[in-house]
Structure 1
Amino acid sequence: MSTTSRLNCIIPPYLLKKLLESRDSELRQAALDTMLTTARLRGERAVRASFSGAAAPGNGRRTVFDCDQGSFLPAAVVARPEDGPESADESVNRAFGGLGLTRDFFKEVFQRDSIDGRGMRLDGYVHFSVKFNNAFWDGRQMVFGDGDGRVLGDLTGSLDVVAHELTHGVTEHTAGFEYHNQSGALNESVSDVFGSLVKQWSLKQSAGEADWLIGADVWTPGIDADALRSMKAPGHAYDNSLFGRDPQPDRMSKFIHLPDSEQGDNGGVHLNSGIPNKAFYLTAVGIGGFAWEAAGPIWFESLKASGAEAQFHDFAHTTFQKAGELFGIGSPEQSAVLAAWQEVEVPIRGVPTGIARARSLATNGNGGRGRQDGLAALTRQIGELSAKVAKLAKDVSALKTTR
């Protein structure tokens, strides 16, 4: 089950299902139409993926097309090319700006040439279909619906939504996390991480200043909700009569087991992403400063080093290793990574589970300087042991190859 044959949508299926239960016939119809159109597009995407080749490089050039409420993308007209003037249509301009900010973020922060690392052109389509309650990345382009206008608004309205969807493209061209169960939740989480970082980078916000909300601008003013998801507080993005309470868990003891099917959100990928989301938030605030300067590189390098079927504990271990490589074994950055994953109850291989509590006591003033120094020393020892084990495994693999 490869991510390259997936249609990655920002609005989780469980929210659309809630709209199907509404007493309002217009809301039910908009939700039903969105789900049917999405199902059709998923089928078309799966067929295309079976014979499509690599995207042609285009120096990261942007083009925004206007679908004019149609759903046949080849019929859309160019609304704003890379070198064209600003449009009179704000949806066009917002999409154009979001594509550019995401492209520039990856270029300036990670020296990545567009989302595929080879200058992939960025095509965006606005005003897709009628009252389409979603935005998606289909492996080749970014598509935005206008929303139903009652519950969900224009999906070009949130920069982090644009960056989230484009990051699915980055993941496709790096780790390629399989889109189901824990690897699928990592796929969604990575998109939330870099979606939030693009927004923070554009606003020059520190980790402490950021709101850590995903999709705060997709709801209409009449809906009592903060956002689609909260990385700072998974499970607390909304709580209202229409959608109920945000069901995202924030730790492994609350992990939600669902069927690996479309109806089960592919094993709860949009739900369980709250666990690695919280780990990144805790890492970023634990380190402090701008999150894209330390926590971001740790996650980005870990994304590039991960396999398609990585589980939470695999990714946690990789981030711990990368933090040591980038900032030093036993560094504050590596200690922050360790404490964050232990706080959300995801183990790191070879690490005792009580260290996170020790770190918490040290940082809130109850542990004293000696406890902090002891934690740093223990983290350093663990990191060194982890590095030796990794080297030994590599040597053994090389020895088997030569035989």
Structure 2
Amino acid sequence: MNPEATASHPVFCTIVPPHVLDKLARLDDPDRSQRALSTLEHDALQRTRRRITTVRGLGAPTGAPSDKPNRTIYDAKRQETLPGKKVHSEEDKPSKDASVNRAHAGLGATFELYLKVYGRHSIDDSGLPLNATVHYGENYDNAFWDGQRMVFGDGDNDLFLDFTIPVDVIGHELTHGVTQHTANLDYFGQSGALNESMSDVFGALIKQYALGQNAAQADWLIGAGLLGPNVTGEALRSMKAPGTAYDDDVLGKDPQPATMDDYVKTSRDNGGVHINSGIPNHAFYLLATALGGNAWERAGQIWYATLTGGELDKDAQFDDFARLTVATARNKYGEGDVLQALLKAWSQVGVPAT
């Protein structure tokens, strides 16, 4: 058992990668560059605060598990003060504010997948209340999990729309909380890319479960519907075809690799955590589509059991994770088709799994 997994160390995680905002901040267009710079400066400050919290540490979960979510939505009213004004509780009727309703629904969709499919009671498995703040900041182009709550910017209606729109973005960010309370993966290099990939995988599964889509029907896009009217692209990332989610004159081209042949060595973005996550993302896609049916079942069960099983070290590399998925698959499904599909998926992305 990994003793580090019992101590929760939250990191500050955003859905729009720093490399995208860095590019926007260098544009000649003063409006776009200033918005990106403001978002980058905000996120840098929040990361510093998160590191302080990490050093202090968090206590063990103390809630009472429940089969029903406990959701509260706050409105920051375009300020950067958290949590903001409380505007919606669990038993309230739908709001007149679409962002409030989408946040409420996304929190619920995340809670439902983890409970119904994996038997997990909220993010910490101890009934953690799910809190979210909408309308955060002025033209804030991001959404984040800060270790305690989801926070959504409204976007700028130019390059990014309201961040409550894609349910997989909500699922992605909340899954950082699941990782925080389980394997506690370090947010740097390959372990950080695994951290990001876990959030993409379960964000995709939350969307598929909510829509009733099997692996063949799913689009395997992360953040579809988020990009604004002036962007050439489909989403922030593609698990089916990493590197193809967008190709835009302003945002640039999606830099994600699909295999280890194109692994990106960089000191930026915590060692490329949002970039190289495309490799384990693609491995999961290959496994899920090879097995067919609902991706949250066999493929998802292998990933969830590996994440939460206590054997995954916080500094795990891709091959460490791959080998543990193989052990999990063998334990759950024996030596048959599931194991062979998993071995093939890891082989196709160039990660040793044995």
Per the TM superposition, whether the score is higher than 0.5 is yes
- Number of residue-to-residue matches in the alignment: 343
* 2:32 aligned partner: 27
Residue correspondence of structure 1 range 230-379 to structure 2 within 5 A: 230-259=238-267, 264-305=268-309, 306-329=312-335, 331-349=336-354
Runs of 4+ in 1 over 3 A off after TM superposition: none
Contact 2:8 2:58 (8 Å CA) reproduced: no
1:43-80 Cα distance to aligned partner (Å, 9 max, x none)? 22222341543455264410000000111104x11111
1:193 Cα offset (Å): 0.2
3-state SS of paired residue (2:147): coil
Q: Which has the larger radius of gyration?
A: 1
Contact 1:27 1:148 (8 Å CA) reproduced: no
Q: Hey, what's the Cα distance between the residues in 2 that align with 1:68 and 1:315? A: 42
* 1:357 aligned partner: none
Q: Hey, what's the Cα distance between the residues in 1 that align with 2:25 and 2:82? A: 26
Q: Hey, what's the Cα distance between the residues in 2 that align with 1:70 and 1:123? A: 17
* 2:118 aligned partner: 110
Q: Hey, what's the Cα distance between the residues in 1 that align with 2:8 and 2:188? A: 9
3-state SS of paired residue (1:290): coil
Amino acid at match of 1:311: Q
Contact 1:283 1:336 (8 Å CA) reproduced: yes
Amino acid at match of 1:312: F
Moved more, 219-228 or 165-174: 219-228
Residue correspondence of structure 1 range 154-303 to structure 2 within 5 A: 154-259=162-267, 264-303=268-307
Aligned residues: CA RMSD: 1.5
3-state SS of paired residue (2:74): strand
Amino acid at match of 1:294: R
Q: Hey, what's the Cα distance between the residues in 2 that align with 1:333 and 1:26? A: 51
Gaps of 5+ in 1: 350-403
* 1:353 aligned partner: none
The two structures have a TM-score, normalised by structure 1, of: 0.83
Q: Hey, what's the Cα distance between the residues in 2 that align with 1:15 and 1:326? A: 40
* 1:72 aligned partner: 81
Contact 1:6 1:138 (8 Å CA) reproduced: yes
Amino acid at match of 2:334: G
Contact 1:3 1:179 (8 Å CA) reproduced: no
Pair 1:100-2:105 in alignment: no
1:326 Cα offset (Å): 1.0
Q: Relative contact order (C-alpha < 8 Å, sep 6+): which is higher?
A: 2
1:244 Cα offset (Å): 2.0
* 2:17 aligned partner: 12
1:217 Cα offset (Å): 1.4
Contact 1:181 1:267 (8 Å CA) reproduced: yes
1:4-41 Cα distance to aligned partner (Å, 9 max, x none)? 24211000001001111222211111111111111122
1:97-152 Cα distance to aligned partner (Å, 9 max, x none)? 00001001100000000011100010000001111110000111100001122101
Greater per-residue helix proportion? 1
Gaps of 5+ in 2: none
Q: Hey, what's the Cα distance between the residues in 2 that align with 1:156 and 1:4? A: 26
3-state SS of paired residue (1:79): strand
Q: Hey, what's the Cα distance between the residues in 2 that align with 1:149 and 1:25? A: 16
Contact 2:233 2:245 (8 Å CA) reproduced: yes
1:315-340 Cα distance to aligned partner (Å, 9 max, x none)? 111111111111112x1111111000
Q: Hey, what's the Cα distance between the residues in 1 that align with 2:47 and 2:230? A: 31
Identity %, equivalent residues = 46
3-state SS of paired residue (2:274): helix
1:232-264 Cα distance to aligned partner (Å, 9 max, x none)? 0001111121122211011111110011xxxx0
Aligned partner (choices 31, 37, 48) of residue 42 of structure 2: 37
Q: Hey, what's the Cα distance between the residues in 1 that align with 2:162 and 2:148? A: 21
1:358-401 Cα distance to aligned partner (Å, 9 max, x none)? xxxxxxxxxxxxxxxxxxxxxxxxxxxxxxxxxxxxxxxxxxxx
3-state SS of paired residue (1:125): strand
Amino acid at match of 2:15: I
* 1:363 aligned partner: none
Amino acid at match of 2:285: Y
Amino acid at match of 1:323: A
Q: Hey, what's the Cα distance between the residues in 2 that align with 1:301 and 1:248? A: 26
Contact 2:61 2:126 (8 Å CA) reproduced: no
Contact 2:8 2:59 (8 Å CA) reproduced: no
3-state SS of paired residue (1:271): coil
1:206 Cα offset (Å): 0.9
* 1:382 aligned partner: none
Amino acid at match of 1:98: G
Q: Hey, what's the Cα distance between the residues in 2 that align with 1:243 and 1:84? A: 39
Q: Hey, what's the Cα distance between the residues in 2 that align with 1:3 and 1:173? A: 5
The two structures have a TM-score, normalised by structure 2, of: 0.94
